[in-house]
Amino acid sequence: MSETDSPYRQAFRLGISGRCPRCQSGHIFSGWLKLAPRCEVCGLDFSFADPADGPAFFAQFIGAVPAVVFALWIQFKYEAPLWVHLITTLPILLLPTLLLLRPIKGWLVCSQYLHRAEGGKLLNRIDE
């Protein structure tokens, strides 16, 4: 990591390219969305990674806003029937969502590694 490359930028850059956050050479995916068990170059175990529903939420949110705006516009402007929405609005919703899932998932996995994110832990505390 260079001095000007913050962990945020590095996580974004490595995540969208699907590269290992440790060696920056290996791949984090073994399929379209399936995480590899480990990096083929440095052997980093990706079992720490749990982006959960985060990628789906962000991708759907980013894809849904333009699709809803378009659907409302086409409905109010042309009073379009349902079949018109199915062939116009549905692709506008699905394409960005499906194309954004992998880079967003990679970004979240790399962010977890670079920021050493872990699940919540309960601390043993003695009350006085």
pLDDT tops 70 at residue 120: no
Burial 94-126 (b: 16+ CB within 10 A, else e): eebbeebbbbbbbbbbbbbbbeeeeeeeeeeee
Ranges of each domain in the chain: 7-114
pLDDT grade, residue 72 (50/70/90)? very high
User: Could you give the CA distance from residue 47 to residue 85 in angstroms, rounded to a whole number?
Assistant: 41
Residue pair 103/57 in contact (Cβ under 8 Å)? The answer is: no
Q: Provide the whole-model pTM.
A: 0.82
pLDDT value at position 117? 81
Average of per-residue pLDDT across 110-115: 92
Residue pair 114/10 in contact (Cβ under 8 Å)? The answer is: yes
pLDDT value at position 124? 53
**pLDDT tens column, 23-53:** 999 999 999 999 999 999 999 999 989 888 9
